[in-house]
Structure 1
């Protein structure tokens, strides 16, 4: 198989997964983006997608086996279904009135009885259009939890990375999400110390992150990948500077995360229970809300894989909220 030319998706269906309540389903492989730091397009080939029919069959099997939540994953999930379209047709999906194959798939899966939650893994910011979010917010079971890959909040750094958006464009996409989903969880990835990143560029990124106010950030120090354009770029950032910058962003992330969790105190939420955990001699049932906030419920007679109405009362620890069951 020539991974640069083959568009056939290799079927790897599952009917059960290790988690008891949440199933991860890979629906897409390959990437056409060629970010300057990434080897994936060379290693995994061009984009190719699983058929909607096969995905739906698998989800139905999983729901019949008791799963209430699925997570759709892929190497570049936003490209799902695009390999069947011409370059002109793909470009037509980018304007605000565009309709993406991924949106069509989510709407189709939302019709499956017994499936209560759908999540999407990492998304390309440009897929977030008014039509995409408005439609999914009103007609699907999609959770208000969006992981939008950013990598840098500096326009110049993004250009060197060959990311195809600007900070201003990214921010507009976040505003669209928040327009249709109340208190949406928006998470992201950030690379610090990319080749050529000056102190001014880093400060620009830090300011942008604080402007967006993410619910959670995954922060990585840049590391060379053999065969990528970034490997040969000049002005590689020293390791000690990368470490210092990542520590600054970790501190910023912790403050943002706490602020987001604080917003749920005294609110009513629906938790999908997952597993019992003993914490300081007390038995709790742990689960997640639709926004992927981890919540502990005094266990009582709860079982895993139940949807439970709770009121958030405070913190069990810095990462887990405490709750009580309500009718």
Structure 2
């Protein structure tokens, strides 16, 4: 049986945005870093205001697909459903690009300092999107900081699990998170960013990697899915175990790669998934890519073992 949606139990409208994931797996998001920058340089050099505004509108419209790809990436990085937030996040990305165009027109040195205009759009939009989503998804006052704490805790757990080959204890995860936040924030107490064991308890019911594998929470199946959503964690666990049996480093790569796809972990600000995994584990990029490719093959093999055949490994 062939079905490309077997690992994706989300509604059709959410899966429609899934192909944009490819922009996150490497530098293909901006294959020619100078191309868009040169296009921007041409537009901002226009002196006539009316013509400039028309060219800006045309440029933003011409790259609408890229803005939405970036928006989908940022939705996933922040662990929110793209089907619900994609339009709002895309609007923030477009606004960011427009502001950068305006600044480039006022200050040509700003544009000349960039190697990739698109990369700076991502970097600049990221904190704006995070702030918007924190407030948009917070059910009550005081929950914004709580959501940020739990996101940082989930990231720490994923990284420690990959580095050690085993999940950290509650105390270890909390301590490591507070040490990292304390080193990078001016006043964690005033900002409400002191992580406690209570945050860990909340995460046990959230979409974090390790807990999701063992979670018994109710999930909705979709008619187009070959695997029920509850079956996916078992498959993920088996693939990670198989990768670790071949090579402990490969097992850690698999754990990080799948935690980014299915859990609360994710890349550091400004980095794609491959860069994040490579830097977390101290691996060269080419070795990281090779391990990820092998993990895809292992996943396809495990699917075949349960009677599911894919057209291509990339569909995993």
Q: Is TM more than 0.5 here?
A: no
| TM-score, scaled relative to structure 2 | 0.25
Name the structure where strand makes up a greater proportion of residues. Answer: 1
Name the structure where helix makes up a greater proportion of residues. Answer: 2
Higher relative CO (Cα under 8 Å, sequence separation at least 6) belongs to 2
